Structure 1
């Protein structure tokens, strides 16, 4: 007898109450938008090709509602990162202006955390480090590798004095050691490009959270879910709801 293929299914969840489409369709659309460099209009046509007639504006609302929720729900399932942090910031256009996306990965390229900020200063750096240290899958870093941004030494020193950061954490300002995180920025840039930027800070934060969540899954950071196993990833996301 042929083995029955496992199909992702979603239990009834209040998160989908009142929606015209099923949870499976909604999560399929959200997951594909956050994984691949497509526009909302492109995804509208892809769904139409599968006999699902839906406006691109509705897909936008789905992404805004569920992208951040997926990111929140996967956090407890992530493997622990190591103590070698590579920190950098890249630029994202929000409402016609450049904003700063702080990002950190460990020495294996696993995502530690991210933060969208309107400023690039000491307070923004401290806010990012606090957010990263508060995640369940991170540890207090033994080394923090950054570029020549002068805000990082000040932020690290102040956080050590306040007891927020391990006193033995070593800061390294060495650009070539940050190639890992700089290469990782390319994925975010590729996903943002079809949308030509974001219309608001709120929209950007929610969408970027979804991009980063799907990146963590595809990097194999979720326990018992392979980074290249698309079926297992779809099932995992369905079981979060």
Structure 2
């Protein structure tokens, strides 16, 4: 599963890669695994994320869902560490407010000192409403300056690179679950997990296996991949 969420390949590409390693699994099965386990991976990884800093860079990009453009709100801090994301059918003040409420509710986030956005007029309205509701620190400063948002705009490329081979998504909920997996593995590759290096593929594979309480055997990676999704709820091997 992590391969699909980390590299720009299709489900059929992954099916052939696994077949080359002696693992017979259909691409439709891989799709169902992603839909089931990607959102769960996002939830289980949260306690292992270090706190973000107080300088947020927020922007939205678009992805195609059933041939229509949907808006993906994303935020990173000044170090480029992912804060949160939200897929929305609309690009307005209500969607922006919903995104900020979601991001502020995460255990690894802090109330930001500054929020840097582009010239989208929806952001000032959303920030004002959040301050009135007491959800956002009243001294948080909004900066509408496009060139300061280069960090998050460059970070959009990670998502675009992964979405491109599949030519979009077939449904809103499918897109939301798959994007959750993309964002989780982006955090892993950025080195956001405590004590896990972003380039250490073996450590990442073992960490994800332990999250799902699957016995992680070093001999299975990378020489032979044993798909253990059906055993995800079994107790860890002694």
User: How much is the aligned-residue C-alpha RMSD, in angstroms?
Assistant: 0.5
| Higher relative contact order, chain-length normalized (CA < 8 Å, sep 6+) | 1
Counterpart selection for 2:166 from 195, 200, 213: 195
1:100-139 alignment, distance < 5 Å: 100-139=71-110
Counterpart selection for 1:229 from 197, 200, 205: 200
Q: Which residue of 1 aligns with 2:233?
A: none
Structure 1 residue 167 corresponds to structure 2 residue 138: yes
CA distance in 1, matches of 2:157, 2:188: 17
CA distance in 2, matches of 1:179, 1:87: 10
1:123 to partner: Cα distance: 0.5
Q: Which residue of 2 aligns with 1:17?
A: none
1:203 to partner: Cα distance: 0.2
Structure 1 residue 55 corresponds to structure 2 residue 26: yes
* Secondary structure at the counterpart of residue 139 of structure 2: coil
* Secondary structure at the counterpart of residue 110 of structure 2: coil
Counterpart selection for 2:179 from 201, 204, 208: 208
CA distance in 1, matches of 2:107, 2:201: 25
1:229 to partner: Cα distance: 0.8
1:54 to partner: Cα distance: 1.3
1:168-183 alignment, distance < 5 Å: 168-183=139-154
CA distance in 2, matches of 1:55, 1:233: 25
* Secondary structure at the counterpart of residue 67 of structure 1: helix
Counterpart selection for 1:89 from 60, 63, 66: 60
* Secondary structure at the counterpart of residue 103 of structure 1: strand
Q: Which residue of 1 aligns with 2:117?
A: 146
1:55 to partner: Cα distance: 1.0
CA distance in 2, matches of 1:94, 1:173: 29
CA distance in 1, matches of 2:59, 2:81: 14
Q: Which residue of 2 aligns with 1:23?
A: none
TM-score, structure 1 normalization: 0.87
1:161 to partner: Cα distance: 1.1
Write out the 4+ residue segments of structure 1 that deviate beyond 4 Å after TM superposition. none
1:171-205 Cα deviation digits (max 9, x unpaired): 00000000000000001000000111000000000
Question: How many equivalent residue pairs?
Answer: 212
